[in-house]
Structure 1
Amino acid sequence: MSGLFGSGSSTTTQQASNTTGDISKDVTLNSPPEDGISEITFSPQSEHLAVSSWDKKVRIYEINQQGGSEGKALFEHEGPVLSCCWSKVSHTLTTSYPQSLMLSKDGTKVVGAGADKAARMLDLQNPGTPAQQVAAHEKEIRCARFVDVPGQQTPVLVTGSWDKTMKYWDLRQPNPVASITCQERVYTMDSKDKMLVIGTADRYVNIINLDKPGEFYKTMQSPLKWQTRVISCFTDATGFAVGSIEGRCAIQYCEEKDASSNFSFKCHRQTPPNQSNVSNVYSVNAISFHPQHGTFSTAGSDGTFHFWDKDAKHRLKGYPEVGGTISSTAFSRTGDIFAYAVSYDWSKGYQANTPQLPNKVMLHAVQADEAKPRPKVGKR
């Protein structure tokens, strides 16, 4: 009987090689940032990649089908940029919304947020117009996302800060339309459909139903025991994945009826040669869900990335070390390209950030068998 990666009669060696991915043909992004890369994210409507960096810049690249890349635009902050995101438009927008302010469905606006306590937006449709400040906090802004608020006739930007607040912004107004105080500093945030999930210091996780954006739908502690690094929402918006500094990932559903499906697993850990009782533990820095298949990737301080099937609780592919820590990852809108940033992740403090460390973004062409979920099998 044929398995996912070939014949069921394969030898153990062949099976191992089938689950080991190939990065030898991955392509380097042209003209990468000059300092640490904080976040990379693809446009939801085109083959463009935004990259935010500690060199105070957000860069936008165009990616062609052969993996070639070209810088198309950039804008600057007054401090390191910690997050970037693409605009999207609410399904409830009406024709009465001013055309000059509408955030186009083709993802033509990019927001950066960072250590200058500001979020700034560049309109790629008006290349001569400089980036405009669209949000402000009392402390550094750690993350920014556009969300779909039902009934709201304007696109809404959400920013999460180390001042322990998250704020909603109507981009036509200088002040936030709403603000929520979290238990601790905001470290990570993601949104899908009506679900917004925020991870803070002290392992708090807040879930918001955007039907009621001004209140927490549910608050919980992370199922993992150590500091949260990243949260990423499932493609079907029924839950989210959490990654922590302890080399673990947790799969968490929002509703109690699905709680039996919650689980966590070890990843990004290494056993040194001839030391079977020792395990080196690495931070899980990035989790990205495939837009078509619903499978997901993890990437970490060990310099590896892996593709997983959460429903089958199975690793689909593991990839060799890439020559440096991986700080951020992203799938393209079709899932055909997986981008990963090879860049220092600050896991060892500022002393370990040397000029010799790599700063680059790699583009991996996702093959047909790499990210597809395992075939469903009947009960035994």
Structure 2
Amino acid sequence: MSTFLTGTSLSNPNPNKSYEVVQPPNDSVSSLSFSPKANFLVATSWDNQVRCWEVVRSGTSIATTPKASISHEQPVLCSTWKDDGTTVFSGGCDKQAKMWPLSGGQPMTVAMHDAPIKEISWIDDMNLLVTGSWDKTLRYWDTRQANPVHIQQLPERCYALTVNHPLMVVGTADRNLIVYNLISPQTEFKRISSPLKYQTRCLAAFPDQTGFLVGSIEGRVGVHHLDDSQQSKNFTFKCHREGSDIYSVNSLNFHPVHHTFATAGSDGAFNFWDKDSKQRLKAMSRCSQPIPCSTFNQDGSIFAYSVCYDWSKGAENHNPATAKTYIFLHLIQESEVKGKPRIGTTGRK
């Protein structure tokens, strides 16, 4: 595999002319989350910080203002928002999750594990926080109580998690994909082996809860339906590859309006796709560093993504002198994310 930077064409961190978030983290970004209620963006980072910016759009321009930040004791790996937009949750290598009221209250530790917390999600319908850890457990938390409401054993370390109530899917080491129906979360609904041959990197539940996307380190995405009668609709496709070079798919995000989706990868590219017509809607220019995480805002008008070293080539390939961290905001054009009729269809049922 060649080195990441190959020539002048890949020396630009912002070839898509996105808007740059001011005062980004000092180290790589591990997660990005937009408030479900307003344009507030949260980033977690390997520099142990959780930061929040206000994003203000005026026509075709965007301005960002740093609002606040909190610290963990070790690198922070994941973040999520409460559905009402008042509270941020974050978890990481200090084995704890913190609850941060944005009204100005002090952050509180609300969850603990025996190993780093890799994934976190707020389940509004249950009024519970769920955390997934490398200690091979999922834990559900009522944030008013010190102990978890329920501990679910996993077959391996948690690598990825997606929730769209009542559907929850957990990806672990050894390519396990465990599906839960959150109406009865203490029992597995279904366990399958990933349709992809290599390590699971990210997951995204379909907006209609009928299935999920899975991305892996091999530059491939799987589209999987849960209903056995829909198995003929399952497929996998290649993305984030350049000749013989294969890059990890690091992030999967469904558009909140059109239900198409974005992929972002270690090749420094993000693309928009329509799973129903099996088409790529838009391919964006490759940035000069990997994209480890991305997210849409609540109305799908802004796509946030980070451009920074993603540690996939180890510490020995990390050069602090050149590996600046960026967070960019891309203004979405409807043509980039609106689905298209499937090629070859005639309109007949």
Structure 1 length-normalised TM: 0.85
* SS of aligned partner of 1:64: strand
**Which of 265, 268, 276 matches 1:300?**
265
**Which of 51, 69, 72 matches 2:64?**
69
* Change over 3 Å in CA distance of 1:142–1:24 after alignment to 2: closer
**Number of the residue aligned with 1:11:** none
Q: Does 1:372 align with 2:338?
A: yes
Cα-to-partner distance string for 1:332-360 (whole Å, 9 max, x where unaligned): 10000011110111111121122111311
Query: Aligned AA for 1:230?
Result: C
What do you get for the CA RMSD once the two structures are aligned? 1.3
Aligned partners of 1:23 and 1:364 also within 8 Å: no
Aligned runs of 1:81-120 on 2, under 5 Å?
81-88=76-83, 105=84, 107-120=85-98
**Number of the residue aligned with 1:178:** 150
Aligned runs of 1:312-351 on 2, under 5 Å?
312-351=277-316
* SS of aligned partner of 1:326: coil
Q: Does 1:60 align with 2:52?
A: yes
* SS of aligned partner of 1:334: coil
* SS of aligned partner of 1:116: coil
Aligned runs of 1:352-367 on 2, under 5 Å?
352-355=317-320, 356-367=322-333
**Number of the residue aligned with 1:291:** 256
Cα-to-partner distance string for 1:162-190 (whole Å, 9 max, x where unaligned): 00000000011000000111110000101
Cα-to-partner distance string for 1:111-157 (whole Å, 9 max, x where unaligned): 110000000011012x1x221000000011001001144xx4xx100
**Number of the residue aligned with 1:147:** 123
Deviates more, 1:291-300 or 1:352-361: 352-361
* SS of aligned partner of 1:351: helix
**Which of 187, 191, 194 matches 2:163?**
191
Determine the C-alpha separation between the residues in 2 that align with 1:174 and 1:220. 33
Query: Aligned AA for 2:134?
Result: W
* SS of aligned partner of 1:260: helix
Aligned partners of 2:16 and 2:285 also within 8 Å: no
Determine the C-alpha separation between the residues in 1 that align with 2:146 and 2:319. 39
**Number of the residue aligned with 1:251:** 223
Aligned partners of 2:98 and 2:108 also within 8 Å: yes
1:23 deviates by: 5.2
Determine the C-alpha separation between the residues in 1 that align with 2:80 and 2:124. 14
Q: Does 1:217 align with 2:167?
A: no
Determine the C-alpha separation between the residues in 2 that align with 1:23 and 1:333. 25
1:379 deviates by: 5.0
Q: Does 1:31 align with 2:7?
A: no
**Structure 1: segments with no counterpart, 5+ residues:** 1-21, 89-104, 272-278
**Which of 102, 109, 121 matches 1:133?**
109
* SS of aligned partner of 1:163: coil
Query: Aligned AA for 1:81?
Result: V
Cα-to-partner distance string for 1:88-113 (whole Å, 9 max, x where unaligned): 2xxxxxxxxxxxxxxxx2x1100110
Aligned runs of 1:230-245 on 2, under 5 Å?
230-245=202-217
Cα-to-partner distance string for 1:18-42 (whole Å, 9 max, x where unaligned): xxxx954310001101111000011
Which protein shows a greater Rg?
Answer: 1
1:322 deviates by: 1.3
1:375 deviates by: 3.2
Determine the C-alpha separation between the residues in 2 that align with 1:239 and 1:345. 28
Aligned partners of 2:82 and 2:124 also within 8 Å: no
**Which of 229, 233, 245 matches 1:280?**
245
**In the comparison of the two structures, how many residue pairs are matched?**
329
